[in-house]
C-alpha cells in the first residue's frame, strides 16, 4: 500500500478535513472534550460533508477523530452533544438559537451516494455512538474504542437512526440493553454484536480504513450508490424510495426511449417509443 499523503481540503475550528486519492477524511478535532459536538462543529461537518458529496473525485468518506486528548492521553471518536452548549431549549449556537443539526449530518451520511466509513479510535458515546450507527461501515481501535449510550443519563436522546436503526443492526433486546443500561462495550463486543465491521490494532486503524476505502473505490460507482440506497430503502420509507427511485430515473434518462420523449416534446410532435415492452 502506497503512503497516505493527506492534503488539507479546508481549514475549520472544530474539525479537520483532508483528501487524498479518492478518499475524504473528516475528523472531529475537540479531543480535550472527548470530541463532543457543539452547533459550530455540526455546521462545519455539514459544510465538509456537502463538499465531499459534490466532489466527483471523492468516492469514500472516512469519519474519524483527531487525538488523543492533550490533558490525559485518552482517545475518543465523539462523545455526542456538548453538554456545556446545552441551554433550556437544546444545543445553542453562537447566534443564540438552539439547533438539532446533528440530525442533518446523519441524513447527509445516510443519503450520500458514496460509502462513509466510521473510524473509531476511542470513545463513541451518545450522539457519537449514533453517528457510527448511521455510517455504512465501522472500524474500531482494538485497544481504545469503547461504545456507550448515555442518552438516557442526560435526557438528550436519539429516537431515530441512533436507536431504532441500531435495533435493526444488533437486535431489539441488545439495543434496549445498550440504551437502558448505558454500559461500556469494547470493540470486540461491538464486533460480536454486529455493529462493527472490524477490530483493528490502534496503530493500523487509519491505514486499514484507507485500504478499505481503496477496495471500495475499485468497484463500480453506480453499483455502490445503488446498493447503498437499496439497503437503506426498506428502513427509510417513502424517502428511501425517493432517493433510490431518483437514481433509477437518472439511469432511465440515458435510454433512447427517454431521449425520444424529450425530443418529441421539444419538436412539438407525438413521441415514437417503438413500443418495445422488454421484459
Ligand atoms: C465520553 C465519556 C464516557 C468519557 O469519560 P472519561 O474518559 O472519564 O472522560 P471525562 O472526564 O468524563 O471527560 C473528559 C473531559 O471531556 C468533557 N466532556 C466529555 N464529554 C462531553 C460532552 N458530551 N459535552 C461536554 N463536555 C464533555 C468532560 O467534561 C471533561 O472535561 P474537563 O476535563 O474540563 O472536566 C464521558 O465524558 C461522558 O459520558 N460524556 C458525556 C456523554 C454524553 O452524555 N453525551 C450526550 C448524549 N446525548 C447526545 O449526544 C444527544 C445527541 C444529540 O445532539 C441529538 C440526538 C437526537 C436528536 C437531536 C439531537 C440534538 O442535536 O440535540
Output the pLDDT for position 201.
Answer: 98
Q: 244-250: long-range contacts at Cβ-Cβ below 8 A with a sequence spacing of 24 or more?
A: 247/113
Output the pLDDT for position 176.
Answer: 98
Give the cell for residue 40: 459550530
The answer to whether residue 151 is catalytic is yes
User: Contact 119/139 with Cβ under 8 angstroms?
Assistant: yes
Closest by CA to 122, choosing from 180, 73, 88, 181, is 73
Output the pLDDT for position 10.
Answer: 98
Output the pLDDT for position 191.
Answer: 98
List the residue whose alpha carbon is closest to atom 18 of ligand 1. 33
Is the CB of residue 34 below 6 angstroms from any atom belonging to ligand 1?
Answer: yes
Say which residues have a Cβ less than 8 Å from residue 68's Cβ, sequence separation at least 6: 31, 74, 75, 76, 122
Rounded-to-integer distance, Cα 18 and Cα 9, Å: 5
Q: What are phi and psi of 244, to 5 degrees?
A: -65, -45
pTM for this structure? 0.95
Is the CB of residue 251 below 6 angstroms from any atom belonging to ligand 1?
Answer: no
The answer to whether residue 127 is catalytic is yes
List the residue whose alpha carbon is closest to atom 39 of ligand 1. 150
Find where cell 446523519 sits.
106
Output the pLDDT for position 205.
Answer: 98
Instruction: Give the pLDDT means over successive 10-residue stretches in the chain (279 positions).
Output: 92 98 98 96 97 98 98 98 87 80 96 98 98 98 98 94 97 98 98 98 98 98 97 96 95 94 97 85
Amino acid at each position: 500500500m502506497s503512503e497516505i499523503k493527506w492534503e488539507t481540503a479546508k481549514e475549520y475550528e472544530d474539525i479537520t478535513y483532508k483528501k487524498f486519492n479518492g478518499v475524504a477524511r473528516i475528523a472531529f478535532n475537540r479531543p480535550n472534550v472527548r470530541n463532543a459536538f457543539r452547533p459550530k462543529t455540526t455546521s462545519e461537518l455539514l459544510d465538509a460533508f456537502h463538499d465531499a458529496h459534490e466532489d466527483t473525485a471523492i468516492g469514500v468518506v472516512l469519519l474519524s477523530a483527531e487525538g488523543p486528548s492533550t490533558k490525559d492521553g485518552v482517545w475518543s471518536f465523539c462523545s455526542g452533544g456538548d453538554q456545556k452548549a446545552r441551554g433550556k431549549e437544546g444545543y445553542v449556537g453562537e447566534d443564540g438559537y438552539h439547533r438539532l443539526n446533528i440530525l442533518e449530518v446523519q441524513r447527509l451520511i445516510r443519503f450520500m451516494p458514496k460509502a462513509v466509513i466510521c473510524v473509531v479510535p476511542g470513545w463513541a458515546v451518545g450522539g457519537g455512538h449514533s453517528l457510527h450507527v448511521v455510517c455504512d461501515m465501522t472500524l474500531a481501535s482494538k485497544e481504545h474504542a469503547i461504545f456507550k449510550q448515555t442518552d438516557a443519563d442526560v435526557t438528550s436522546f436519539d429516537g431515530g437512526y441512533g436507536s431504532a436503526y441500531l435495533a435493526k443492526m444488533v437486535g431489539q433486546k441488545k439495543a434496549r440493553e445498550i440504551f437502558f443500561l448505558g454500559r461500556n462495550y469494547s470493540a470486540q463486543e461491538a464486533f460480536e454484536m454486529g455493529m462493527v465491521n472490524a477490530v483493528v490494532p490502534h496503530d493500523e486503524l487509519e491505514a486499514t480504513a484507507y485500504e478499505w476505502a481503496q477496495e471500495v473505490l475499485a468497484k463500480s460507482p453506480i453499483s455502490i450508490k445503488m446498493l447503498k440506497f437499496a439497503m437503506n430503502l426498506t428502513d427509510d420509507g417513502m424517502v428511501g424510495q425517493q432517493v433510490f427511485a431518483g437514481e433509477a430515473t437518472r439511469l432511465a434518462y440515458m435510454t433512447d426511449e427517454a431521449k425520444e420523449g424529450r425530443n418529441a416534446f421539444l419538436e412539438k410532435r407525438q413521441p415514437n417509443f417503438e413500443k418495445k415492452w422488454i421484459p
